[in-house]
Structure 1
């Protein structure tokens, strides 16, 4: 597996200067899963890019380059009891915001990745309810903040379909300093304005820490094993005609809005002091 070397890009300086507090969402730490009465992890839209690739594997990179990221889930019920034997799926975009398995990917919609399965896979939770994946830090695409999708299955039934969100300050640093992630335009959507992230709330904020030559994202997935929720499943790309009318027509959840001729509409990115305030929320006192 080949990953981008991040040892010389000043990560420790980032965590100090951009507010390390944003890298730890207390509600998402697996160590806290023993507390009773935990809130269930919020359900979100599945998005249009889910595929069941039927590959149980820890390493989902398929040799794809990127900043190494381990994703570690602890799956438990609301009482904090670990739930073994559940299947956890994850999927996310690559460093340039492109999903495997679909056509018309990337800023210019020219990327064709039908038949590809990178950055997708499944694991079954162990006796302690944990499931872990080796992947790369995801990129971004127009209209969405940085996110990773996940589903939890009990048998054939999906008891959780959701997304979790990574710290904006860390994402900003990687996207501007690591060549593989750099783009011709500025990321347009942050956690603070992403509609899906705002509706989901704190239960899907991943805690991130730095380990040797990689980042580690952890999240407790608190589920009701008896649940049978309705999955919000938007049409897949190409399964519906492009929106007609004025530019800025809203697309399916999890997809960039499309304008005249099916071209993606890019939201206006925050700049200057407003962007800094959004990237590094003020610390609370008391």
Structure 2
């Protein structure tokens, strides 16, 4: 069952003051969609790497949680073209890991890289933008895995062309609060990579930061996406993982190598702790 919670702004602030830093989110009582900004206010959305776990399933559905445990999260998109006008009728694919950092559809998942999730489809889905350029997925808040900050993958496909492949990055402080306080996200170690230390998040920049709001019993992450319809890139074939082997002893295929992620990036460092971590989570706190 999906875990229903009622996190309040006051509770989040209190947790931050107590040392479990988190985001301060505006409270609201309804699920009314956010206003669409003026065209000039929406910048072209930066691309971010697809990663090894994309599957071209064209699985048309709005609820992608499949009953998984975790904090309810709606993932909403408003898609614009290069002029800033809303863009109806384009396909939006979404995929992300579960509360424990595992992707459906692939073997080699889990802390020891031995969990086989081939054939599973949780936390994956496809929708077509409506006349207002919007689409919305009902999911759960993603967990994390070594070398990456909290993120949601998405792809915008227009006909036979993938116009944009990118990721949504969620507030570090909110992620920290959820991971530290809810059993579904409990791990034996601290998350090692934050938005401020993830090379992919840093390269993508502000246009990939989701606007997160607290709703009744859920969070809603909204991203205003602006694509260039003149940028044509063929849809790549689905990723094919290496043949399964029960001898796997290291991280699962596609997980960050020990030298850093992405390949060629600086080596990963130990997870920051104490005051250093608090400053990274809430920069204004230090």
Q: TM-score range by the shorter chain?
A: 0.7 to 0.9
Query: Can you give the 5+ residue segments of structure 2 that lack an aligned partner in the other structure?
Result: 27-32, 260-266
Match of 1:81 among 81, 85, 93: 85
Shift of 1:238: 2.4
1:1-286 aligned within 5 A? 2-7=1-6, 12-15=10-13, 17=16, 18=21, 20=23, 31=35, 33-36=37-40, 38-229=42-233, 236-238=240-242, 255-258=255-258, 267-282=269-284
Distance in 2 between residues matched to 1:210 and 1:173, nearest whole Å:
14
Q: TM-score, normalized by length of structure 2?
A: 0.83
Alignment match, 2:30: none
Distance in 1 between residues matched to 2:176 and 2:75, nearest whole Å:
19
Shift of 1:6: 1.8
For the Cα contact (< 8 Å) 2:104–2:119, is it kept in 1?
yes
For the Cα contact (< 8 Å) 2:60–2:126, is it kept in 1?
yes
Specify whether residues 274 and 99 from structure 1 end up closer, same or farther in structure 2 by C-alpha distance, changes over 3 A only.
Answer: same
Shift of 1:80: 2.2
Q: TM-score, normalized by length of structure 1?
A: 0.83
Shift of 1:82: 0.5
Specify whether residues 59 and 235 from structure 1 end up closer, same or farther in structure 2 by C-alpha distance, changes over 3 A only.
Answer: closer
Shift of 1:50: 0.2
Distance in 2 between residues matched to 1:92 and 1:197, nearest whole Å:
15
For the Cα contact (< 8 Å) 2:25–2:214, is it kept in 1?
no
Alignment match, 2:262: none
Distance in 2 between residues matched to 1:173 and 1:21, nearest whole Å:
11
Please give the secondary structure, in 2, of the residue aligned with 1:160: strand
Shift of 1:62: 1.2
Specify whether residues 103 and 64 from structure 1 end up closer, same or farther in structure 2 by C-alpha distance, changes over 3 A only.
Answer: same
Offset from partner CA, 1:144-178 (integer Å, 9 cap, x none): 00000000000111000000100000000111100
Query: Can you give the 5+ residue segments of structure 1 that lack an aligned partner in the other structure?
Result: 24-28, 242-246, 260-264
Specify whether residues 133 and 119 from structure 1 end up closer, same or farther in structure 2 by C-alpha distance, changes over 3 A only.
Answer: same
CA RMSD, Structure 1 to Structure 2 (Å): 3.1
